Amino acid sequence: MVVLTIEIRPIRADESAWCEATLRALPDWFGIESALLDYVRDTRTLPTWVAELDDVPVGFITVRIHNPCAAEIHCMAVRPEHHRTGVGRAMVRFVEAHCRSIGAHLLQVKTLGPSRPDANYEHTRRFYESMGFLPLEEMNDLWPGNPCLILVKTLDSALR
Ligand SMILES: CC(C)(COP(=O)(O)OP(=O)(O)OC[C@H]1O[C@@H](n2cnc3c(N)ncnc32)[C@H](O)[C@@H]1OP(=O)(O)O)[C@@H](O)C(=O)NCCC(=O)NCCS
């Protein structure tokens, strides 16, 4: 059995084009051009980490720190050929540890809500739920034309 090592490290200044290529490789999730470009721009200004599998970049995660208590997974993506190999789990675990280390108690993520049936986003919601996120609320006025599901989890082991 081949065991691959996943490492998470801060994004480098020259990697936003790679992030853009990664999002463009996932058109079923990142098909809105303006949103895709916003996510790419945000990799330059918000805390972002890259996951490497045996020194090859395979995914990234961007986080927004809202206040001293609460943070959000703003964007995350794994190259399609590496889906379901534990990369997403490793990035979320890394971000959770980082958020705990800065004193945050809550982590949220927003994704397409279930009232718009979509097999791809169904997988995304299953991923977040497998990571311990709970659906908090679906909002219909946050994203033009798309229901937004807010999922949240506590980072405090005493409250879980
Ligand atoms: C969502 C995403 C980040 C998950 O990363 P990943 O590396 O594929 O997921 P992992 O291998 O770490 O999966 C961890 C667990 O999540 C669950 N999970 C992941 N993908 C799943 C799927 N397609 N269906 C059901 N459960 C799934 C499983 O419980 C899995 O554990 P297991 O494989 O031991 O059963 C990745 O698939 C991706 O980039 N998707 C497209 C973009 C996207 O959805 N980004 C988020 C936008 S809001």
pLDDT in tens, 123-153: 999 999 999 999 999 999 999 999 999 999 9
pLDDT, residue 157, reads 78
Q: What is the mean pLDDT of residues 113-117?
A: 97
For ligand 1, atom 32: residue with the closest CA: 84
**Measured between alpha carbons, how far is 146 from 112 in angstroms, rounded to an integer?**
7
pLDDT digits (tens, 9 = 90+) for 17-55: 999 999 999 999 999 999 999 999 999 999 999 999 999
Ligand 1 in reach of 83 Cβ (< 6 A): yes
For ligand 1, atom 40: residue with the closest CA: 77
By most ligand atoms within 8 Å of CB, the mutation choice from 6, 19, 89, 127 for ligand 1 is: 127
Q: Which residue has the higher pLDDT, 147 or 157?
A: 147
pLDDT, residue 158, reads 65
On the question of pLDDT at 159 being above 70, the answer is no
Distance 119 CA to ligand 1 centre (A): 13
Helices (H), 6-158: 16-24, 33-45, 87-101, 119-130
Q: Global pTM?
A: 0.96
Give the model's confidence band at 3: pLDDT under 50 very low, under 70 low, under 90 confident, else very high.
confident
On the question of pLDDT at 160 being above 70, the answer is no
Task: Select the CATH number that applies to the domain covering 6-159 from these four: 3.40.630.30, 1.20.1050.10, 3.40.190.10, 2.30.30.280.
Answer: 3.40.630.30
Distance 127 CA to ligand 1 centre (A): 4
Backbone angles phi, psi at 149, to 5 degrees: -95, 125
pLDDT digits (tens, 9 = 90+) for 52-69: 999 999 999 999 999 999
pLDDT, residue 146, reads 96
Q: Which of 17, 2, 101 is nearest to 54 (CA)?
A: 2
By most ligand atoms within 8 Å of CB, the mutation choice from 4, 84, 125 for ligand 1 is: 84
Domain boundaries, given as residue ranges, for the chain: 6-159
